[in-house]
Amino acid sequence: MTDWESIAGLRVIGRLSDMLKRRWHLGLSFAEPDGTPVKGEVFSRLCPNRPVCLLVQSTKEGRLSCDRIAERALERWRGDLERGAQPIECHAGLVEYFVPLEVEGQLQGLVLAGGALCQRMEEHQRRIALKRGDELGLGSQQVTGALERSAVLTPEDEKTISELLELVVEEILVYR
């Protein structure tokens, strides 16, 4: 079993979390090998209140859907030959990046960062978020307002975030 609290306490995790928050207002999270989100006060501090996420998670169904993003990431990872950080669209249309944490070929869990729009697919993401908001009974004005306050990543931002996640996973493995 992975000692997520010790990992969350690593200086490199704190630095990454600070960078993600300050530069892109993104959250950092972890998931168990089965996709279960790692929760608790220590972990909630790593994840800022991102506007769309906060709005969607104000509903029970939205919270449950958010909790399943790691499961979807694992499904994609298992079916993909590509390794390293990969993006995945969450149920609300935002992008999450994930990197598997593997030790000697055994999956220990996932490191995830996200909750943003991407320039390369922003219109698509906005449509998905509005549709999902409607399904959750949220007003389109609320969703539009949250989208306007959300980070929009450039292709360079996306590359940087992916590289940062990969480097941090390497550092976690050194710690282990």
Tens digit of pLDDT at every position of the chain (176 positions): 789 999 999 999 999 999 999 999 999 999 999 999 998 888 888 887 789 998 999 999 999 998 899 999 998 888 766 678 999 999 999 999 999 998 888 899 999 999 999 999 999 999 999 999 999 999 999 999 999 999 999 999 999 999 999 999 999 988 76
pTM of model > 0.85: yes
d(CA 159, CA 54): 25
Question: Given this model, what pLDDT does residue 176 score?
Answer: 63
- CATH code for the part of the protein at 4-175: 3.30.450
Question: Given this model, what pLDDT does residue 88 score?
Answer: 94
d(CA 91, CA 136): 11
The residues, any chain, with a CB within 8 Å of residue 11's CB and separated by 6 or more, are none
Whose CA is closest to 99, among 75, 76, 83, 80? 83
Domains of the chain, by residue range, sit at 4-175
Question: Given this model, what pLDDT does residue 166 score?
Answer: 95
The residues, any chain, with a CB within 8 Å of residue 115's CB and separated by 6 or more, are 25, 26, 27, 50, 52, 53, 90, 94, 96, 150, 151
